[in-house]
């Protein structure tokens, strides 16, 4: 056994010695922990065999057999696709298959801004209406208190306004 060389003695349970009586004893081998070593091997296997080697192979063969693009002026009457604005083939791949079209995202964002702005204008309008209702107390909605004296209040408001107009402010 490979661990024998690290730990030469083993611990024998006295109870089982009595019970077995001449047969083979169950022995518990006390060894130092192999956790760090096993974990280290796991990590090396993971990062090298699934990370370093595949990515290196991909990088090597893409750079050699596909290669970066050459900068050319845009031909007449041709609209390049959105991934054709990048140089390296991996960047073009990511742009084409993983990332969304930047122009589409730009226009979608503008649509969102427009909708939010419309909602905001409606909210501001509602707020102004509520504020006027609070000031004037003349509408049967927010701040309504069923006040039968309101007709007298309105009459007095007209009377006072007419007096104020007649007399002026410089009393």
Partner 1 sequence: MGDKQTPRKLFDGFINAAVSIIDSPVTWFRERVVTPNRESYPWYHQKFRRVPTIDECYTDDVICFYEANSQFKRDKAVDSEILAILRIRMEDCNMFHGPDAVAKCKSLVETYKEAEGNWFCKYGDLGFHGNVKDAYMKQKHRMVWERRHGPVGSGMRDAAAAAGDE
Contacts of 26 (CB under 8 A, 6+ apart): 13, 16, 20
Binder to partner 1 among 30, 66, 99, 156 (CB under 8 A)? 66
Does 156 bind partner 1 (CB under 8 A)? Our answer is no
Question: Which C-beta is closer to partner 1: that of 27 or that of 115?
Answer: 115
| Per-residue x/- track, 89-128, partner 1 (CB under 8 A) | ---x-------------x--xx--xx-xx---x-------
Say if strands 27-28 and 11-12 run parallel, antiparallel, or are unpaired: antiparallel
Torsional class of 168: left (φ above 0), alpha (ψ -120 to 50), beta (otherwise)? left
Task: Give the chain's length.
Answer: 171
Question: Which C-beta is closer to partner 1: that of 116 or that of 162?
Answer: 116
Q: Give the residues lining the site for partner 1 (CB under 8 A).
A: 64-67, 69-74, 80, 84-87, 92, 106, 109-110, 113-114, 116-117, 121
């Amino acid at each position: 056994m490979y661990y024998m060389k690290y730990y030469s003695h083993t611990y024998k349970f006295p109870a089982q010695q009595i019970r077995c009586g001449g047969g083979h004893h169950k022995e518990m081998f006390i060894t130092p922990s192999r956790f760090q070593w096993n974990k280290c091997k796991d990590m090396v296997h993971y990062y090298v065999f699934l990370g370093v080697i595949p990515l290196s192979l991909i990088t090597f063969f893409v750079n050699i057999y596909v290669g970066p693009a050459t900068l050319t002026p845009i031909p007449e009457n041709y609209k390049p696709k959105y991934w054709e604005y990048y140089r390296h083939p991996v960047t073009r791949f990511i742009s084409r298959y993983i990332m969304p079209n930047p122009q589409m995202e730009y226009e979608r964002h503008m649509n969102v801004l427009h909708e939010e702005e419309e909602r905001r204008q409606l909210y501001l309008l509602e707020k102004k209406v509520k504020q006027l209702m609070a000031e004037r107390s003349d509408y049967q909605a927010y701040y309504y208190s069923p006040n039968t004296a309101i007709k007298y209040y309105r009459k007095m408001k007209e009377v006072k306004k007419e007096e104020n107009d007649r007399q002026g402010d410089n009393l």
